[in-house]
Structure 1
Amino acid sequence: VLASVSVLSALGWWRWDNLKTTLIWAGGSALLSLYNFQKISTGKAYFKSTMVDAAGLAAVVAFVTASHTFSLATELVIAAALILLSLVVALSDRAEKLRSIHLGGMAIMIVLALLMLGNSIYYSITHLSDFASADTARDFAIPILLTVMFLPFLYCLHLYSVYEGVFASFHFSMKDPTLRRYTAWKLIRELRADTVGLLRWQHHAALFPPQDAAEIDASIAEVRKVRRLSVRPPKVSPRFGWLPHLATTFLDNAGLRTNAYRRTHDGWRASSDYLDLGKAPFPNNIAYYVEGAELTVAKLKLVLNINAPEEAEQAQERFSQFASLLANAAIPGWPLSGQDLDIKINEQPVVMNGYALALKKRTWTGGIPGGYDLAFTIEVEDSVCK
């Protein structure tokens, strides 16, 4: 922040009059960005949302709020209070036990913001000639410029964090220090700033620990190949399956986002986290899985786990909705087929448009009384026949 302010000051774009705006920006958006810098892994969406926050309606409101300055001592007290409240709100956000503190901090910030906004609007209206000036325009531009200059630092921090985690993961698994140095050098040289690739390699190395330099080279080459295919996927005929980068997103909008499609000991696969249904202490849940080969996904599976039999009926209704969504997304021409998703449990697969649909129920013999799971699968017909 000091470096950014120094550059802007040298260019004549920052003056001491902008101190309050800078302190509020540093204690607010900059501090929260540091706390949540891992979100940079979402890629372009993070940078876009950050710039929208910096130059959007919220930024205009914040600018109007800060347009009327008090005495220096008062301004420093206000800035310190806002920074302290921002810290309280940020640090209590993820702790359920501190929920009341989080809500209280938010309430105080809202009251202070409304008081400052009302005061600034009144001052701007009554002193319009002072408000519409070059100094005002510069004060509005300062947070935007600081945000633009801050993003490269956040990206470097994210990149450093990823490398630190990857290096720590093999520091103890590789006993040979020479091999550790070679691996670190190879990752930096081959993957550079590809944080997604680095995390993929970390997962791959955990499943298939490399034992020598040749296996290190092979594992990095595999990760780079997968990354190239995700950017420029090959054309695949529907009768062979689905492209992995598409199959893993079929249920994103329904809350079942999968992890990366990776090679495991049982083939290539990806899976979502469990999505809880209902309010039972140990709720029913749904998960989504994709399975196949390196270039094609051959099987989609939606699994419902009935952990609370008293809420099974509602859970099965939600499960049917998810299954219909999956069929609509996965089967070409499904919305035009005029056929409802009516599949009998534990019967032969139903073939539609070249795909085999099946519904299997498995009753649990131990554990939860009355518990069971339902698995809805969509597979390429040829693979089922084989």
Structure 2
Amino acid sequence: MILNNREIAILFWLAIVLLYAFRKGINKDIAKSFTALIKSFFHIKIQTIIWGGIAWASLCVVLLEEAGIWTLSNLKTTLVWGCTFAFISTMNAHKIAETKGYFREELRGLINATAIITFITEAYSFSILAEIIITPILTLLVIIQVLSEREPRYATLQKISTFMLAFAGLAYIANALYMLANNFSDFASLDNLREFLTPSLLTCFYLLYIYVISIYMTYENLSVGLTYAITEPGLRRFAVFKAAWAFKTNHKALNRWRTNAGIFRPQCKNEVIASIKEVTYQIYREKNPIPITPEQGWQPTKAASFLTEKNLTVEDYHRTHGDEWWGDAHILKIESDRFNLDSITYVMRGTDIAVKRLKLEVTVNNKDLHALPESLFIEIGTELILHSIGHCEIDLQQAIDTDSHVDIITGLRRVRLSRENYTYTKTGGYLRTLIIDYQPNYIGPEDEG
């Protein structure tokens, strides 16, 4: 459990920063926030999950030790792994249900060229003096790069910091390869093989625990989410049981059923069963879509993926009140600067058979910082038109530059582009909307009244 020069340098500077912070005193607001964070950390549910993770990781270590893979010399690596990957993944377990292919990506990243190069680089460090000098410089460069990415006016600074970080990375790799070439016999040892395999194997085992926790959190959120939809406790327990029996560990299906229950609020067991059957049928229909003609509109599964490459995929196209069906993609957030967060949304409306309306909207909070959100809106809007119509007769760039309203019929479809200024903001914010209807005379529920 010997620390290398790089780890000593990191601990050295961390101690200096903490010592300086305590000597200078901590801002009262920061102290209050930090205290609140610590208190929330000791919540019984969080502590249960953390100690469960520690117990599971300890069991995995014992099994690896019995198999002759783990020894006491791997304790440092194990502790670092526990404080980084294990702790962070446990705290973010609630996000796993929303992250597509999370486990596949984690397993894919365990043993690859990057992992091997990183391991070799970390095995060799510079002298202690060099590491003490390099550590704060690299930390400063990383901070500059992160901050400059948010400010278009600092693009040059961002490029310089990126270049310097890349150069430093190459220097670390070159040093490691040089040391490896001169000391390969020492490097190619059973101890180093254990050091390389230990975090990878622990990650594989720990992902099982994270999977279980993510399922538990899904059902916990499901139960809490049904509090207002199904007020009677007995019926709510019945609903959770039937949903678990029907959807088991399918996060997406469980969340879709929760949405359905939240909209229609089943009041008896028969209505609960009917809502579960409806969602089950929706999922079946998505896997086995019914062919439709262009005159009917767009096939829902296909329309939901029109903007997948732009990170605007509709995951849940579902029935709302009446016969209307509706679905929207996760909001695409655009940070124009550190104080303005604009966004783009994609919405589909129609029936269970076909989508009748596609709507793309961009929210701009400051008219003086419109360039980035508008350019993305034009790019995404053009792609939506191409996917939904097959050709684009509208020059969105020209229409937006001239602030023109567009209302044209192209083939079977009707395309409209409009802008609505916000009257309650001093920064000239506005909402720009692109609507594509499957037929020129289509009137949706939002047009009525």
Normalization by structure 2: what TM-score? 0.64
User: Structure 1, residues 266-291: CA drift from partner, whole Å, max 9, x if none?
Assistant: 62112242644745966665432111
CA–CA distance in structure 2, aligned partners of residues 374 and 261 of structure 1: 23
Aligned residue in 1 for 2:24? none
Matched, 1:300 2:355: no
CA–CA distance in structure 2, aligned partners of residues 218 and 191 of structure 1: 14
Alignment partner of 1:349: what SS?
strand
Q: Out of 161-170 and 8-17, give the one that drifted further.
A: 8-17
Q: Among 251, 255, 262, which residue is 1:206 paired with?
A: 262
CA–CA distance in structure 2, aligned partners of residues 280 and 29 of structure 1: 29
Deviation at 1:136, TM superposition (A): 3.0
CA–CA distance in structure 1, aligned partners of residues 406 and 186 of structure 2: 78
Q: CA 1:254/1:172 → structure 2, altered by over 3 Å: closer, same or farther?
A: closer
Alignment partner of 1:130: what SS?
helix
Alignment partner of 2:209: what SS?
helix
User: Structure 1, residues 85-138: CA drift from partner, whole Å, max 9, x if none?
Assistant: xxxx9xxx9xxxxxxxxxxxxxxxx9xx99998987676444322322344333
Task: State whether residues 284 and 307 of structure 1, in contact with CA within 8 Å, keep that contact through their aligned partners in structure 2.
Answer: yes
Aligned residue in 2 for 1:46? 102
**Letter matched to residue 408 of structure 2:** P
Identical aligned pairs, as a percentage?
27
**Letter matched to residue 234 of structure 1:** I
CA–CA distance in structure 2, aligned partners of residues 384 and 175 of structure 1: 38
Q: CA 1:135/1:238 → structure 2, altered by over 3 Å: closer, same or farther?
A: farther
Q: After the TM superposition, which residues 109-128 of structure 1 pair with which residues of structure 2 at under 5 Å, given as runs? A: 124-128=180-184
User: Structure 1, residues 143-182: CA drift from partner, whole Å, max 9, x if none?
Assistant: 2222221111111110000001111222465343321221
CA–CA distance in structure 1, aligned partners of residues 280 and 351 of structure 2: 17
Q: CA 1:152/1:174 → structure 2, altered by over 3 Å: closer, same or farther?
A: same
Measured on the aligned residues, the alpha-carbon RMSD in Å equals 3.8
**Letter matched to residue 389 of structure 2:** I
Aligned residue in 1 for 2:59? 3
Q: Out of 206-215 and 275-284, give the one that drifted further.
A: 275-284
Q: CA 1:120/1:180 → structure 2, altered by over 3 Å: closer, same or farther?
A: same
Aligned residue in 2 for 1:176? 232
Q: CA 1:320/1:214 → structure 2, altered by over 3 Å: closer, same or farther?
A: same
Matched, 1:269 2:323: no
Deviation at 1:184, TM superposition (A): 2.2
Matched, 1:225 2:284: no
Q: After the TM superposition, which residues 179-328 of structure 1 pair with which residues of structure 2 at under 5 Å, given as runs? A: 179-258=235-314, 260-265=316-321, 267-272=324-329, 273=331, 275-276=333-334, 278-279=336-337, 285-305=343-363, 307-310=365-368, 318-328=376-386
Task: State whether residues 298 and 379 of structure 1, in contact with CA within 8 Å, keep that contact through their aligned partners in structure 2.
Answer: yes
Aligned residue in 2 for 1:153? 209
Task: State whether residues 68 and 123 of structure 1, in contact with CA within 8 Å, keep that contact through their aligned partners in structure 2.
Answer: yes
Deviation at 1:351, TM superposition (A): 2.0
CA–CA distance in structure 2, aligned partners of residues 347 and 187 of structure 1: 46
